[in-house]
Structures are given as structure tokens and as C-alpha cells.
Structure 1
Amino acid sequence: MSLPRRYLLRTFGLTAIGTQLLPLAKPLKRIAQNNLFSKSAIAPPRLKVGDTVALINPAAFNYAKEVQQFFKVLDNLGLKVKIGEHFYDRYGYLAGKDADRAADVNAAFADDSVQAIFTGMGGWGCARILPLLDYNTIRNNPKIIMGFSDITALLLAINSQTNIVTFHGPLGVSSWSPFTIDYVKKVLFEGGSVTLQNSKTMPVETIRRGTARGKLIGGNLSVISTMLGSAYLPEWENSILFVEEVSEEVYRIDRMLTQLKLAGILDKISGFVFGQCTKCEAEKPQESLTLAQVLTDHIRPLNIPAWYGSMVGHIRDKFTLPIGLKVEIDANSGTIKLLEPAVK
């Protein structure tokens, strides 16, 4: 679980990935992105026992002591680890300079010995490195890349620029509970037909009943709202939008959803899923709308299937969601069904 971004999240992290910073990579023009979306999403190769994963820190710095528990998780999954060259760097609240953090991302995709890329920490910083990524190399070397919170910016940018499926799932500093690990295995290792459904202890609340199909897009709400107007967001038409938040009062959720509405995004989506809003209680509840009221105000008028309470976000037990993949949601039962394999 992460602390509020404005106080930074604490996190951790894997033998050096030697690299040389590649030239500044410009984002694809919008017309090129439109051509990408006319094609099927690119599913990266699945994980197998014995594979090597790179562990990088593209956002906030981590504490070295926290990495040890994650090494045990990876070992139990039968995975080897390769630590990014700048994983332990620190530059203020960031895990090193922008160029160095970007270099670790580029190096991990270019390294033939690496089969997947995990991220140690969220916090803040991914948006700063988006113009420094080598999207041509990334496109030519499809790999699993996973994380959440601030990593949302990296996941959405890579998907928008390359059409590669990226994965909204646990960070290195996450709890990696049995529930979380089970969905990591189902989605990243097995790659079959998966239906994501809350545990019995986590009920969902339907905003508007029904089912819908579309390309799954989403992540941290505040990160998405700060990316509006950039070239690093996927197309929204007929998509399923999922969002989550942490340590944001209800009025801020209202403000960010209003921003998505004014940008025309909410009018384009075919379905909506709100995950968990952790530590989002109003400072003065008697003077605040509830989260349910805000979601009802913004989402119900869209007349699309929608619910909130999905196991997505800064919580112990979480799903692994493939960004850019075709899915079907059922707002009656609160399920997300993958309509194609997320990995090949």
C-alpha cells in the first residue's frame, strides 16, 4: 500500500542492467496512434518458471531494506531477478535523475536476457521520463511491464505508443498476498480466459446495471487527469475505464471526474469501473458529498454499465488488469472478463 503521493510512497526493488541513454524519443503522431488502434493489441510473451524479470524504479526512490521480502516472492514464483542499474539511486524524492530512470526502462526492454519488467515503487516521477523513452525499441521487444499508482503514466504511455498490452498490478512494495499472487499467475503465467471477481468480503455497488465490451484503459485517477492533453494517452472511444485513488478527499475525486467529463472522455467510454478509494474520507463529512453521490452524479447520466468497489488500487488484495486488452464487464455482478489472452 502506498502513502499519499504528496508525501511520497515508500518502496523497494533487482544485478545491474547496463545501459546507455538512447536519443530523445518523440511520441507518435496522433494519426499513427489511430492506425495502431485499428489492429489487435500486442500481447507480450507469458512468464515461465526460470524467466528473468528486471526490477526498476521509474518514479520515487525506495529503501533498500524493503526489497528483501520481494526477492522471496519472486523466488517462490520461480523467477530470477536483474536489478536496474539505477534502482537504488536517489535524487530528492525521485529514484535518480530523469535520464537515468528512463535509461533503466529502455535497457530492460532492449535486454534479451529479461522476459518481464516489474516496478518497485510508485510515488511520482514516471510522467517526467515519458519523452525520454525509446518507443521503437519497446515496440520491437514486447515484454510484460507491471505496476500501479504513479506507474499508470508509464503503462498508458507504452500502450498508447506501441499497442503493447501493459499490466496494472502489484508493485514490488505491495503485499503480494495469496489473492494477489493468484491473479498474477492467472494473467501473466497461464494467460487463459480469466474472469476477475471480488472476494466475498469485498462487495461491489452497482451504479448502473448491464454489460459492456471494450478495450480496458485506466489506472490512478489523479495520474490520468494530469496526463490530459498529452500525446501519451490511448484512444478512449468505446473503452472500459477503470480508476482508483488513495488519500484524496471526495471533493478532489469530484474535481478529477469533472476534468475527465470536460475533456470529453466520459462521453466516449462504454463502461466504467471505480476500484478502491483508500483513505479518501472527507475532513468534514457533514459538509461533504459522499463518494457514492459523486459517482452517481458523474456516471449514472452516461447510461453505461458501471460499478464501484472493484479490488483495484492501494489495497492488500488486488487484481492484475491488462491495459489495452478487450474485456467484458458485468456491472450486475462486478466482474471483468478477459476476452482474449493477455499474454501469448
Structure 2
Amino acid sequence: MLPVIRPPRLLPGDTIGITAPAGWGDPEGLKPAIAHFEQMGLKVKVGGTVFKRNGYLAGTDAERAAELNEMFADPVIQAIVCSRGGYGTARIADMLDYELIRRNPKIFWGYSDITFLINAIRRYSGLVTFHGPMPVSLAGEDVHPLTLEGFSLLTEPRPFRYDETITPLQVLVPGEARGRIVGGNLTLLASTLGTPFELETKDCILFIEDIDEEPYRIDRMLNQLRQAGKLSEAAGFMICDFHQCEAKKGQNSFTLPEVLEHYFKAEGKPALAGFGMGHGTPNIAIPVGVEAVLNTGKRQVTCVEAAVLG
């Protein structure tokens, strides 16, 4: 892995660039997020891809990749937040200028389909990235306070910590593990295998989440990671929110807990489940690429340093 680069934290008056590197959405849905960022004392610059539609994509591949490169190069922008997920980031991963990103370290933030870019940018530039709620996550009513609180990682140089004061955690395999945090959406992680952007898990703490996938599909993807050596290489595991991932086709199915236990107990590596990260609520933000300690006895994960420079 490349040397880790932590981006500078945001200060009052700094600007967040909002871009759409994957699917398109309703630009009106950005208003609650923009208002929240402005309440934090930040400015917002909305990119042109947010207003584009190309099939299920927010503009062409060239347009989406160019805007992301431009936002990393733009000295006015100090952080880049993806407007939504959907589909499309894998199509532009080989069009990004990772040397440009390395020379211009900034906060890069998103989840779901953005998982592909979160890990690609971390792998090829060394930049710490962030798996966290996007503007589409703030468009509904009654947004969980902890979802909003996650954006404090943008401005506060404090180590990330997650324990049972946030959500109940269950021990799948006891023990303690130390390593850099990697992961995200399981479907996207599996899709990296065999590509130049293949997930790296050696001596890392791997976190996974997903939505609307039946247990047999979760089984298939975990088996793919297992056969690729990604589970055996990892130091430990964080099992996060698998939202609406129950069996839908009759009763002849393993439950999701049975599938998860099958794979993670077999690995024998420290594993905790129940983290509120992903497509459910709350959606807790987590830095990717920062070294952390997972302790099942204390039922907590604690980063050893802040994700942003103070």
C-alpha cells in the first residue's frame, strides 16, 4: 500500500463540491444537505453532472470523470461529496488522475456505488477517504441525528470511535485485531475482483454492508471474496447494516445471520456485527484507510489517529 495521506479538515468558509459520479437524481433533493453544510459554516459548489441525465447515469463517463478530476484540481474546493450512488463509478475508475489526487489531497465522501471509488482512490493515491451519508440520505424527513453528526468528521480532527453507545454490537468471533479500515458495499467490493482496482484486505479490518440482497446472494459474494483470499488475508471484520436483506422466495433459505456466521466463524478472525453503517438508519460515517483497533471484549472499534489533519 502507498503511504497514507490524510486530507486537511474543513474550516469555516471552506467549500464543498457536490458531484454525481454515478447515477442521476433530483437536484431539488440536494437542498436539505446544502442547508446543513451552510449551517456548518461551509460553502457549496454544485457540479454540472448533478443536472445531467444519460440513461441511468449522471452524464457520460467522460463528463463524470472530468468533473471529479476538475474538483480535485480546483483550489476553491476543499472537500468533494458525492450526491448519490446508483450505478456507474466502476466505469470511470480508470479515467481518474490518481497522481493529481495525490498532489491535491481533499476529503472524498460517499457510500453505496461510491464504494468503488473510495477504495480505488485510497489504493492508487494513498488518500484517506470517507464512507458516509450523501445528500440523497438527507432528503427525507426525520433524518437520524447520528447520521447528521457523522459530518463532523469533515471538520474535527478526532479519531473515529464506535461502541455500543451508538448501536448494540454482537460478537461473532472474539478477539482483537489491528489494521487499516477498508470496505463498503459488498456488491461493489465483489465487483472489484479481477480488475486493477481489486479490493486489498491484507492485514486490514474489512467492513461490509448491502441493501436488497437475499441471503443466497450475500452467500455468493462472500464465497467469492473467500475464494479470492480476501477474507483469510483480513485481520478482522465489521459486519454493518444489511438493509432489507431477508429471503423473499419461499421458506427454503438460510437466514442472513446464518450466512454471515458460516463465513466469519470459519475464518476465526475477530468479528463484530451490528454497526449502523450503510443503507439503513442511522448511517454512521467511517474513514477508510485509517489504522484502527477492533476489540470484541470492549465491543468497539477505535482509530489510532484522526482521519483529517488539524
Normalising by the residue count of structure 2, what TM-score does the alignment of the two structures yield? 0.95
The question of whether the paired residues in 2 share the 8 Å contact of 1:195 and 1:335 is answered with: yes
Within 5 Å, which residues of 2 pair with 1:231-310? 231-284=196-249, 286-310=251-275
Distance 1:184 1:335, change over 3 A: farther
Distance 2:40 2:250 in 1: 44
Mark the runs of 5 or more structure 2 residues left unpaired by the alignment: none
Mark the runs of 5 or more structure 1 residues left unpaired by the alignment: 1-33
* CA-to-aligned-CA distance 1:133-167 (integer Å, 9 cap, x gap): 11111110000000000000011100000010000
Within 5 Å, which residues of 2 pair with 1:134-213? 134-175=97-138, 177-185=144-152, 187-199=153-165, 202-213=167-178
Question: Does residue 32 of structure 2 align to residue 69 of structure 1?
Answer: yes
SS at the partner of 1:203?
coil
* CA-to-aligned-CA distance 1:10-65 (integer Å, 9 cap, x gap): xxxxxxxxxxxxxxxxxxxxxxxx5x2xx3x1100011121100000000001122
In the alignment, residue 315 of structure 1 is paired with which amino acid? Answer: G
* CA-to-aligned-CA distance 1:216-244 (integer Å, 9 cap, x gap): 00000000101111111353211000000
- How many residue pairs match? The answer is 305
In the alignment, residue 186 of structure 2 is paired with which amino acid? Answer: L
The question of whether the paired residues in 2 share the 8 Å contact of 1:159 and 1:234 is answered with: no
How far off is 1:189 after superposition?
Answer: 1.3
SS at the partner of 2:49?
coil
SS at the partner of 2:162?
strand
In the alignment, residue 241 of structure 1 is paired with which amino acid? Answer: L
SS at the partner of 1:159?
helix
Distance 1:177 1:47, change over 3 A: farther
Aligned residue in 2 for 1:50: 13
* Runs of 4+ displaced beyond 6 Å: none
Aligned identity (percent) is: 40
In the alignment, residue 58 of structure 2 is paired with which amino acid? Answer: A
The question of whether the paired residues in 1 share the 8 Å contact of 2:72 and 2:101 is answered with: yes
Distance 2:43 2:214 in 1: 40
Normalising by the residue count of structure 1, what TM-score does the alignment of the two structures yield? 0.86
